[in-house]
Amino acid sequence: PHKLVMIPGPTPVVRSIQDQMGRETIAFGDARFIEDFRSVVKDLKELWRCDGQAFVIAGSGTLAMEMAMANISKPGNSVLVCSNGFFGDRYVDICRRRGLQVDVISAPWGKSVTPEDVEGKLSKKKYDIVTATHVETSTGVMAPIAEIGKITKEHDALFVVDGVAATGGAEEYLDTMGIDVLISCSQKAFGVAPGLALLWASKKALDKRKSLGTIVDSYMDFEKWLPVMEDPSKYWGTPPINLIWALKQSLEIIKEEGLEERYARHKKQAAVVDEAVSSMGFSVLADKAFRAPTLAVYLYPEEAGIDDAKFRAIAADEGIYIAGCLGNYAGKGFRMGHMGNIDKHILISAVAAIERTAVRNGIKLELGRALGILQRGLIEES
């Protein structure tokens, strides 16, 4: 039976995007593909307001994280990692392996590193790079990127933002937020299958890359990919043709909806789903002030004595994939995405499946009550 993929990525892939992946693959030198690739790169650059270059590379989000560092740092550089959880910590490992000097600000899970925390560090020591995770997928927390970006600029460091669980669902612009390298990937708010690493580099970041001369990395080198992104008739590595077509379709959907409208829809969806899921006794891990619009961690009601593995197995049986929690919260709740090209029908089905799952796990509730709350919220939305 059909199961809704409500984990925080991959997200549901709509038919029109799937159709692009099912097309007969053509040569990457075919003029029709070259034009499609060109329009994808142009749209990414323009929509996210990047004065440098956008890159579309075969790979996952982690490749994009690593690629950002490969192109703007050299061993010995100092990096300040703003970590709000599991994926923030991943940057610490990536940086240390590259011989970078790393300091970390770690927020308690559910909260975010604040602009004041960053100012505190930057005013005491010179950093070359600051990294932050826009939406932390382990906690459902959104960081104040624009404010951190402003401080980073004032201290003349480069600002790297992990937008994997944010881009296309949470407001994010390179120019106004002071972002030098934004990294993301295809399987989250873009609603495309996994397989594309996406990067946006500001002019300042590209200048930094040039100043480094030859770097040890080849596949990840901006200088190797720049000619291709500027003119996709050029070759460096074989482009993932069908995924690029799928991304083109995703961008068509995004342009049709409008980016601002898309951000507003995600915010509204998050609030409505929270209200419905909370009414069953689950609680949102993220502080309200930092609540991400793209996904949430819902903690089990303590008194219900939920067996986590059983809860998610029953959820799958009821037709919905949800994710387990990470770190100290493993076993204590579930993570649910509600981003990308989802609609009211998907949200209704998802919350209904959670209701049935809760009842089958012994949580006392009146079936349909949470759905009613969701229904009311969805009416107000339109």
Q: Counting Cβ atoms within 10 Å, is residue 194 exposed (0-12), middle (13-18) or buried (19+)?
A: middle
Q: How far is the CB of 131 from ligand PMP (least distance, A)?
A: 11
Work out whether 132 is an interface residue with ligand PMP (CB under 6 A).
Answer: no
Work out whether 191 is an interface residue with ligand PMP (CB under 6 A).
Answer: no
Work out whether 61 is an interface residue with ligand PMP (CB under 6 A).
Answer: yes
Work out whether 340 is an interface residue with ligand PMP (CB under 6 A).
Answer: no
By CB under 6 A, name the one of 28, 33, 37, 87 that touches ligand PMP.
87
Work out whether 233 is an interface residue with ligand PMP (CB under 6 A).
Answer: no
Residue number, 253 or 326, with CB nearest to ligand PMP = 326
Closest residue by Cα to residue 109 from 337, 270, 321, 299: 299
Closest residue by Cα to residue 111 from 292, 278, 271: 292
Of 57-65, 100-108, 331-339, 360-368, which part binds ligand PMP (CB under 6 A)?
57-65
**Which tokens belong to 22?**
């099912």
Work out whether 178 is an interface residue with ligand PMP (CB under 6 A).
Answer: no
Output the CA torsion 24→27→33→37 (10° steps).
110
**Distance between CA 269 and CA 286 in Å, rounded?**
16
Work out whether 286 is an interface residue with ligand PMP (CB under 6 A).
Answer: no
Strand partners, 101: 78
Asked whether 139 and 85 are in contact (CB, 8 A), the reply is: yes
Asked whether 335 and 7 are in contact (CB, 8 A), the reply is: yes
Residue number, 87 or 190, with CB nearest to ligand PMP = 87
Q: How many CB atoms lie within 10 A of CB 265?
A: 18
Closest residue by Cα to residue 196 from 263, 160, 245: 245
**Distance between CA 208 and CA 73 in Å, rounded?**
8
Q: How far is the CB of 49 from ligand PMP (least distance, A)?
A: 21
Q: How many residues bind ligand PMP (CB under 6 A)?
A: 12
Annotate each residue in 1-40 with x if it binds ligand PMP (CB under 6 A) or - if it does not, as one string. Answer: --------x-------------------------------
Q: Position of tokens 């990840």?
A: 220
Q: Which residue of this chain has its Cβ atom nearest to ligand PMP in the complex? A: 61
Asked whether 128 and 157 are in contact (CB, 8 A), the reply is: yes
Residue number, 66 or 128, with CB nearest to ligand PMP = 66
By CB under 6 A, name the one of 137, 167, 249, 250 that touches ligand PMP.
137
Work out whether 164 is an interface residue with ligand PMP (CB under 6 A).
Answer: yes
Q: How far is the CB of 326 from ligand PMP (least distance, A)?
A: 10
**Distance between CA 187 and CA 12 in Å, rounded?**
9
Work out whether 168 is an interface residue with ligand PMP (CB under 6 A).
Answer: no
Work out whether 62 is an interface residue with ligand PMP (CB under 6 A).
Answer: yes
- Quick one: DSSP state of residue 305? -
Work out whether 321 is an interface residue with ligand PMP (CB under 6 A).
Answer: no
User: Could you tell me the CA-to-CA distances from 159 to 12, 54, 77, 198, 342 in Å, in that order?
Assistant: 31, 16, 14, 16, 31
Residue number, 249 or 294, with CB nearest to ligand PMP = 294
Q: How far is the CB of 331 from ligand PMP (least distance, A)?
A: 19
Is 335 annotated to bind a ligand? Reply is yes
**Distance between CA 82 and CA 90 in Å, rounded?**
11
Q: How far is the CB of 97 from ligand PMP (least distance, A)?
A: 15
- Torsions phi, psi of 93, nearest 5? -65, -45
Q: Which residues are annotated as a binding site for substrate?
A: 335
Residues that bind ligand PMP (CB under 6 A): 9, 60-62, 65, 87, 133, 137, 162, 164-165, 185
Q: Which residues are annotated as a binding site?
A: 335
